[in-house]
């Protein structure tokens, strides 16, 4: 009999806080500013004279926002202001016809048949990580698996959907991406207060410098790909060849650069966080780690991990889902109530910010039994079939659902299976990092785990 595992979570504000204390908590960790009631109620509003924010957690209300009335709940100016310096008007931030066109152009590399061809690159990225671990002295050592997983997932994107990124550019992209996100809650807080974009806050200069570095790299990549018309059929090649269906115009270099930044960033940070939290949970739940290792050995034996074998790891799939329930790599989604329509019996204004905190939906007390407990059996097929699609939604839902969801699941499975058959992960008995929202869900202070290569 193994004891129940309650891995670290966030302590919410016990009640809705006045604006200044709210912002004080928000800049440290936006999840800490959200009051306890949001874990209990279907919808909670914030603001005295006017409703500034509505936190929506009820699956039926979320579906209403993301599907039935999606056109009346567009993406927010806040999202655009905060992310635009890096990802411009690419797929993540675009709206209307421009979004529709970009989504169409970007979809083919994410078709099932294409995805399967990426599996060797995914396994190879994990193998490289293991090789580096094996070079380290000693039978066991401590390593920051957050950094290692970022490296591995970046390698996958750079060798599949976006070919031809040099190692030096890759290093700058990873470093600048992180430096941009570190102070991001200050920028969100300034945007919530409607301060101008020029408003200075701690970390602002670093954000500007990082954004400039990233933009210079993606623009250089687009220029290089214009000169070098290689045989590659990756996303950049597709965007370079695309013609607007109405005007016949090619996609502008600016939008191509926006999408390069979007996919470089969205395509590796999130999956890296899923893997990081998965390794943490498995280090704390050694019996599950052994079960997964047994499943991998029984299915794959000594042979290579392939597209076929990946689909035959049901326990690994359940564990990954449970990890993404407890630690959704993109913990918060936002929209704006453009028409000021009523939701869940609450009168809202036409500028009310709608926050769908995936982190809290996944731990809501009305939706999950013993929500903070790690229990992969919640995702046994007969149980999973009963959850509404918006109760467990690490990839969002509706027309703007993550374009890379199948890519990410395949990648996380391939990498995790490769790591587990080559190494054991151990917990030092103390580490319990708080999950902090910085667009992605980071472990506060990194994720140093003990690794014992097998």
Binding site for ligand HEM (CB under 6 A): 91-92, 103, 161, 262-263, 266-267, 270-271, 274, 329-330, 333, 394-396, 400, 402-404, 407-408
Cα→Cα distances 13→31, 187, 323, Å: 9, 21, 24
Whose structure tokens read 């609450």? 346
The least distance separating ligand HEM from the CB of residue 409, rounded to whole angstroms, comes to 7
Residue nearest ligand HEM, CB atom distance: 404
Distance (Å, whole) CA 88 – CA 188: 17
Q: What is the 3-state secondary structure (H, E, C) of 192-231?
A: HCCCCCCCCCCCHHHHHHHHHHHHHHHHHHHHHHHHCCCC
Which of residues 262 and 413 has its CB atom nearest to ligand HEM in the complex? 262
What's the distance, CA 94 to chain centroid? 18
Cβ distance to ligand HEM smaller for residue 23 or 320:
320
Go through the chain and tell me how many residues it has. 454
**Residue 145: which of 375, 331, 420, 405 has the closest Cα?**
420
Q: Which is nearer to ligand HEM, 159 or 400 (CB)?
A: 400
The structure tokens 């890096």 sit at: 86
Closest CA to 21 of 38, 10, 33: 33
- Could you tell me the smallest distance in angstroms from the CB atom of residue 107 to ligand HEM? 9
Q: Looking at beta carbons only, is 273 or 424 nearer to ligand HEM?
A: 273
> Starting at the edge strand that comes first in sequence, how are the strands of the sheet with 141-144 ordered?
141-144, 448-453, 423-426
State the minimum distance, in angstroms, from the CB of residue 369 to ligand HEM.
Answer: 23
Looking at beta carbons only, is 268 or 378 nearer to ligand HEM?
268
Q: Report, in Å, the least distance between residue 270 CB and ligand HEM.
A: 3
CA distance 226 to 399: 32
Query: Do residues 126 and 151 make contact, with C-beta atoms less than 8 angstroms apart?
Result: no
CB of 76 to ligand HEM, least distance (A): 9
Phi, psi of 18 (to 5 degrees): -60, 160
DSSP 65: I
Distance between the two ends of the chain, CA-based, in angstroms?
26
| CA-closest candidate to residue 342, choices 38, 76, 51 | 51
Cα separation, 51 vs 78, whole angstroms:
16
In order of 219, 225, 438, the CA distances from 212 in angstroms are: 11, 20, 19
| Closest separation in Å from C-beta 318 to ligand HEM | 16
Closest approach of Cβ 75 to ligand HEM, in Å?
6
Between helix 96-106 and helix 253-266 the angle, nearest 10°, is 70
Would you say 368 or 395 has its CB closer to ligand HEM? 395
The residue whose two tokens read 């007390």 is: 365
CB-based contact 203:71 (threshold 8 Å): no
Burial of 331 (C-beta count, 10 Å sphere; 0-12/13-18/19+): buried
For the bound state, the minimum distance from the C-beta of residue 392 to ligand HEM, rounded and expressed in Å, comes to 12
Give the residue with the Cβ less far from ligand HEM, 60 or 131: 60
Name the CA radius of gyration of the chain, rounded: 22
**Smallest distance from the beta carbon of 113 to ligand HEM, in angstroms?**
16
Q: Which is nearer to ligand HEM, 43 or 156 (CB)?
A: 156
| Closer residue to ligand HEM, CB minimum distance, 106 or 451 | 106
* Residue 137 beta carbon to ligand HEM: minimum distance, rounded to whole angstroms: 33
Least Cβ distance, residue 408 to ligand HEM (angstroms): 4
- The residue (of 85 and 267) whose beta carbon lies closer to ligand HEM is 267
Residue with smaller CB distance to ligand HEM, 263 or 392 = 263
């Amino acid at each position: 009999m193994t004891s129940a595992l309650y891995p670290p979570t966030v302590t919410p504000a016990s009640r809705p806080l006045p604006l200044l204390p709210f912002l004080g908590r928000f800049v440290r960790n936006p999840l800490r500013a959200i009051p306890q009631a949001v874990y209990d109620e279907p919808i909670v509003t914030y603001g005295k004279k006017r409703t500034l924010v509505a936190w929506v957690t009820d699956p039926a209300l979320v579906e209403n926002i993301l599907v039935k009335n999606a056109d009346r709940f567009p993406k927010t100016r806040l999202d655009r202001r905060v992310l635009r310096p890096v990802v411009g008007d690419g797929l993540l931030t675009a709206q209307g016809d421009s979004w529709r066109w970009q989504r169409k152009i970007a979809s083919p590399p994410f078709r099932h048949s294409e995805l399967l061809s990426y599996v060797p690159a995914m396994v190879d990225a994990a193998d490289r990580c293991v090789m580096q671990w094996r070079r380290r002295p000693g039978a066991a050592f401590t390593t920051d698996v957050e950094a290692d997983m970022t490296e591995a997932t970046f390698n996958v994107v750079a060798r599949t959907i976006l070919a031809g990124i040099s190692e030096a550019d890759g290093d700058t992209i990873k470093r600048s991406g992180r430096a941009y996100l570190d102070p991001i809650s200050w920028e969100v807080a300034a945007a919530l207060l409607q301060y101008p974009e020029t408003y200075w806050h701690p970390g602002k200069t670093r954000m500007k410098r990082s954004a400039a570095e990233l933009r210079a790299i993606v623009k250089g990549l687009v220029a290089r790909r214009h000169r070098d018309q290689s045989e590659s059929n990756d996303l950049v090649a597709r965007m370079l060849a695309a013609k607007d269906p109405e005007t016949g115009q090619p996609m502008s270099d600016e939008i191509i650069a926006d999408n390069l930044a979007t996919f470089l960033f969205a395509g590796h940070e999130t999956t890296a966080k899923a893997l990081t939290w998965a390794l943490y949970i498995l280090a704390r739940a050694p019996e599950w780690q052994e079960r997964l290792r047994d499943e991998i050995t029984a299915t794959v034996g000594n042979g290579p991990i392939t597209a076929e074998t990946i689909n035959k790891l049901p326990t690994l799939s359940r564990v990954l889902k449970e990890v993404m329930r407890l630690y959704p790599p993109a913990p918060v989604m936002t929209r704006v109530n453009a028409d000021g329509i009523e939701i869940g019996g609450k009168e809202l204004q036409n500028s009310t910010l709608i926050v769908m905190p995936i982190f809290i939906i996944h731990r809501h007390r009305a939706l999950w039994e013993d929500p903070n407990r790690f229990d992969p059996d919640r995702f046994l097929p007969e149980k999973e079939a009963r959850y509404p699609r918006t109760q467990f939604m690490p990839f969002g839902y509706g027309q703007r659902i993550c374009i890379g969801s199948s890519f990410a699941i395949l990648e996380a499975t391939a990498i995790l299976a490769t790591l587990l058959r080559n190494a054991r992960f151990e917990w030092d008995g103390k580490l319990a990092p708080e999950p902090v929202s910085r667009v992605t869900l980071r472990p506060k202070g990194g994720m140093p785990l003990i690794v014992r290569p097998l």
